Structures are given as structure tokens and as C-alpha cells.
Amino acid sequence: MSTAISPVRNAASRHTVGRPTGRCRRERPRDRNERYVTENPSTPALEDDLPEQMKVRRDKRAALLGEGGKPYPLGVKRSVTLARLRATYGDLGAGESTGETVTVAGRVMFVRNTGKLCFATVREGDGTELQLMLSLAKVGEQALADWKRLVDIGDTVAVTGEVVSSRRGELSVMADSWTMAAKALRPLPVAHKPLGEETRVRQRYVDLIMRPEARRNARQRSTVTRALRDILHDADYIEVETPMLQVLHGGATARPFVTHSNAFDLDLYLRIAPELYLKRCLVGGIEKVFEINRNFRNEGADSSHSPEFAMLEAYEAFGDYQTMASLITSLVQGAATRTFGSTLVRHVDGVELDLGGQWRRVTLFDAISEALGETVTIDTPYETLVSYAEKTDLGVDPVWGPGKLAEELFEHLVVDSLIEPTFVFDYPEETSPLTAAHREAPGLTEKWDLYVRGVELGTGYSELNDPVVQRERFVQQAALASRGDDEAMPLDEDFLRAMEYGMPPAGGMGMGIDRLLMALTGLGIRETILFPLVKPEV
RNA sequence: GCGCCGUUAGCUCAAUUGGCAGAGCAGCUGGCUCUUAACCAGCGGGUUCGGGGUUCGAGUCCCUGACGGCGCACCA
């Protein structure tokens, strides 16, 4: 098996993930605008080449500084949030004033400077906006002139003044004074044109400033993960964190990322799954255990796959795959209810999806048989399966055994049609090396996959806990490795040793967090992940 | 990894057969004490993704590289 991984090992020593020196200097500036933000004082002449709008903002920062002002003061105090102010005075009538003086702060999103009365709209992080008014009569000539001269859209400002309603009925703070809270050196994008796809992903901070949906998505994700944790904690589960840096990769079939420990002079894998460690927890007596954390898989990226993705895995001693099917149902339905108030969710494309009730259940081979119009079982001969594959234009990899081929047929013929939540039960032993043999059906395992919108959302098992059978399965996988299947796992002797101390019978499940968000919202994976991996710009 | 398409001002986009690189918003100057994508007058802003080539002349054609989108392959 070491022959299978040695090429990866060699590649890794050239491209380690960790950076020993901790330095990360780019060899070339990222774009022409960025040369000027380096601290290097020996390039002042380039200042002349700055795009006009950035130069203007830098000049304003310098002007503020030169006059004894502070473009980035510390300890800016606000007395009330915009949201609270709106909640308190939302029904103030047009032209009314409150007599209450407050200090508010926010990012300037809109500016209307006139001769003697200036308007601005500021916004705080959750998207709540409030109007500021600066009148000559209240702030005085100097402060008004400074405001017009120094404030740009995008700056964060703090204003102290009375809470009033404008003649048009807009809740406002009528300033007695204003201060810069943080000067923006780059102009914000136009508010009325949608931001380009790439900018949204690469500069999520801009996306979060400009797009309400981006702010909402980020907050929804937090609500969903908190719901999952709450539900699990309520069921007496214990949350653990197991290694991301592993000496051996295991627990799933996937190609790993490789990195290197300088201290140990040892190549390490970023984990592809936490499973083998969570099972060690079961052995140690943490009988209901879960982890929500990242996995890393060195494989293709598309609308439903990201090289790093968050996953929930949960294991329950004395449970089985039926236990875990119930658990994932309550997790998905609980997350939907706690986040959206209902198990009937509306996706961004307007399509509604009902996640409520009992979900459909079908066995893998029944699903294949139905799609094919021919009865297929675990006993269907390999040659017959190959003929079905050829009939349906599925290319057959000679490395595949009959079980793998059956699964490929399923993915080829059935998966796309599984829109409503559907459990697919009872997979071949061949492709499930960590799963217990089925109690009734020889050759099958007690495993389900949960599909929503044609995407695998989660998977569950009656866990294999016979250490002798487990070792045999691993040896089989290692044999596969020597046949060129580089996803097969190396033998994890420490895991097998743990199993030999006795793991209680248990059910286990895994669910993609990003995919759960996708199932709940209809978003692509790059929208559910705040900062998805992107290639460097230059 | 393979194929197709794209990359132009701060942002979103135009530019005819290869013939002076434009608009809206944003910005700058001036005006306006109730504006909401204000309005009025005036002004500036470009390495057309990088490199090479063809041509009197290239945003446009050819080669090459980077990045992105879509499809395929791989995967969850």
C-alpha cells in the first residue's frame, strides 16, 4: 500500500501546506492598485499612478491627520445601535423630535450634500439603516465643511445628535457633532448594479457590505449549525474535536491533501473524515458523540463539491442505522424549523421543498431495478451488470467489482430524480468497509444514504465492530490499493487495536453542513461557504 | 485533466468590415436647509488581463500564459 501513496508523498514535499517561516510575501503585486499599499517607503513616485478615487480618499485621510484629526480613532463609543433606535422610535411622526440625544455609528451608504443641510444614510452590520442630518445651524460652518470635504461613501462615521423625524418622515439623527470612525480608502461598488460573481466570492467582505442576501446567508448558516448543536446537546450528545492532521487518512474513500511536520520530519494528511477517531471515542465510553468540523478532500470542485467542507458526524452506542435515520430526520427538520419556522422551505429559485413528515425509503437494489425495468439484486452476476451498464451508456472501470458497479448504476440512473428527501437503504459490503453486515440479507450492509435535490446529504450505518472482520475489510481495501485505486485506505493499526478492546454496537451518521444549507436554501456551495477556496488572482 | 465561452474606467457594461476607446453610476469643482439611484452647470478618470506576433494601423486577427464561467471527467 505504501507504493500507492508514495507519488503523493513526493509531491507533498514540494508543496507543503504549512509555511515554516510564517512569511507569505507575494513576488508580484496583485494588481496595479495594490502596489501603493505596501509599507515600502522607497516608492512614493508611484503614488501619482493611483486610480483617482483611491488617491482622493488617501488625500482625505492625510488631510484629516494633518489637521490633528484621526481617520482611525480608537474607542469610538456608540450609545445605541441603529436597530434599537428603530425599534424604539420606528413610529415617530413626520417632523417630530424626541429631545433624546444619542451617538450612533455606521458605514456611510448614501450621501446627499447640499449647501446648508446634508443627508447621509449609515448602515450597521445586520443591514439596518438610519438617516443622518447635518445642518449648518446645528453643527456649525467648520464641521459642515469638514463633513463635505472628508466623508465618502464607505466611510464609517459616528454622529452625536437628537433623534428626530425628517419632514418626509424619515427617522434620523440630527447631528450636533460628527467624527470619522474609520476612513475607507477604496470606493464601494455601485449599489444599483449586481456585483460580479467573481468579486462576490473573492471579496466576500464587499459582498457582505453590498448584498442583503449575503448577510442573510452568513447568519442563516450560524443559525443552522447552532440548531444542530442544540438538538444534539439536548439528546445528551457530547461534542469533541478530533485530529485534522493525521498520520494516516481513513474513514472515507477520497484522495487526501498532504502536508509536512517539520518538528517530526513527517508527512501528514489533512483528514478526509473524523470517523475513525469518533469510533475510538465510542471504545473509550463516550457513548453519544459528535463533531462538527472540516474535512479536506483533494478532488474536483463544482457546484456541490468544495475541497474543504464542513461535516457533522455523530455516533450512538447501542443504536443502529435506524436510530441514525431518526436522528438525521430530527436534525434536518429541527434545523429547518429553527431557521425558517417551517419544514416547508422556499429556495432562492422560488421552488418550495417539503422536508416534513416521514421521508420515502427505498433499497438500493429496488431503486436500480425500478429505473432499469429489470430485477437487480446483490446476487446479479457481474457480467449481467456490465451489460446493463453498456445499455445505459455507463462506462465501466475494470477496477470496479459488482458492488461498486451496482452503485455506479444507481448514481447514473436514479440519483438525479431524488428531489424530495429519500433514504436509500442496504448497500453492498464491497463498498462499505466500515459497515456491519446486514442482519437478514447476506452480501449487504446496514447503510443508508439520504438524498435531497439529487445530492447526497448524509449517510448512516450500523457500525462494524467485529475487529476481525474489520481487519479483513481493511486488508481487502489495501489489496485494491495495489490495483491502482489510490483512494483505498492504508491499514490503521491503532484503530484496529482500539476495536480489539471492544467497541459497543453503535449507529453512526454523517451529514454535510454545506449541503444541508444547500438543501434548505437552494444556494450553490460557494454561497453557503463564506470564503470558498479560489485560485490566487496573480 | 479535456472542450467551449469570457476578462475594457472605482462598479456594471458598450465599441459596426481591423480605423480617434464610450455610457450610466461613482469621483472632482461650483450652486442648493428635507434629500432618498436628487437636481443644475462644468471637469477629470484607461497598461482594453499579462507576454509575443501579423498589419500603415489591433479592444477587435493569430500564438502563448493567468484567472473566471459552463459542460465532461473525478468525487460527497
So what's the pLDDT on residue A51? 81
- Mean pLDDT estimate for chain A: 87
Closest residue to B27 (CA to C1') is A53
So what's the pLDDT on residue A245? 93
Report how far apart, in Å, the C-alpha atoms of A146 and of each of A60, A116, A160, A304, A416 are: 10, 13, 16, 50, 61
Whose C1' is closest to the CA of A255: which nucleotide?
B75
DSSP H or E run through A218? helix A212-234
Tell me whether residue A19 is exposed, middle or buried, using C-beta atoms within 10 angstroms of its C-beta: 0 to 12, 13 to 18, 19 or more: exposed
CA dihedral A185, A186, A191, A197 (to 10 degrees): -150
Whose C1' is closest to the CA of A121: which nucleotide?
B36
* Distance measured from the CA of protein residue A188 to the C1' of nucleotide B12, in angstroms: 13
* Distance measured from the CA of protein residue A136 to the C1' of nucleotide B31, in angstroms: 16
Provide the positions of strand B that have an atom within 7 A of a protein CB: 1, 9-13, 24-29, 31-38, 44-47, 66-76
Q: How many residues does chain A have?
A: 538
Q: Are A105 and A129 in contact (CB under 8 A)?
A: no
* Distance measured from the CA of protein residue A495 to the C1' of nucleotide B15, in angstroms: 66
Q: How far apart are CA A332 and CA A319, in angstroms?
A: 19
So what's the pLDDT on residue A489? 54
Nearest in space to A122 (alpha carbons), one of A138, A110, A135, A139: A110
So what's the pLDDT on residue A490? 65
Q: Are A249 and A4 in contact (CB under 8 A)?
A: no
So what's the pLDDT on residue A481? 62
* Distance measured from the CA of protein residue A51 to the C1' of nucleotide B14, in angstroms: 22
* Distance measured from the CA of protein residue A454 to the C1' of nucleotide B65, in angstroms: 38
Whose C1' is closest to the CA of A35: which nucleotide?
B47
Q: Are A255 and A298 in contact (CB under 8 A)?
A: yes
Report how far apart, in Å, the C-alpha atoms of A306 and of each of A213, A225, A302, A310, A512 are: 21, 18, 7, 10, 11
Q: State whether residue A456 is helix, strand or coil.
A: strand
Nearest in space to A63 (alpha carbons), one of A180, A174, A165, A195: A180
For the beta carbon of residue A477, count every other beta carbon within 10 angstroms: 20
pLDDT < 50: residue spans in chain A = 1-47, 485, 487-488
Whose C1' is closest to the CA of A117: which nucleotide?
B33
Q: How far apart are CA A197 and CA A397, in angstroms?
A: 37
* Distance measured from the CA of protein residue A300 to the C1' of nucleotide B73, in angstroms: 9
* Distance measured from the CA of protein residue A43 to the C1' of nucleotide B51, in angstroms: 25
So what's the pLDDT on residue A253? 80
Whose C1' is closest to the CA of A192: which nucleotide?
B37
Q: How far apart are CA A242 and CA A274, in angstroms?
A: 7
* Distance measured from the CA of protein residue A128 to the C1' of nucleotide B42, in angstroms: 37
Task: Kindly report, residue by residue over A259-279, the tens digit of the pLDDT.
Answer: 899 999 999 999 999 999 999
Tell me whether residue A536 is exposed, middle or buried, using C-beta atoms within 10 angstroms of its C-beta: 0 to 12, 13 to 18, 19 or more: exposed
Q: State whether residue A271 is helix, strand or coil.
A: coil
Q: Are A425 and A410 in contact (CB under 8 A)?
A: no
Task: Kindly report, residue by residue over A438-468, the tens digit of the pLDDT.
Answer: 999 999 999 999 999 888 999 999 999 999 9
Q: Are A388 and A409 in contact (CB under 8 A)?
A: yes
Whose C1' is closest to the CA of A297: which nucleotide?
B75
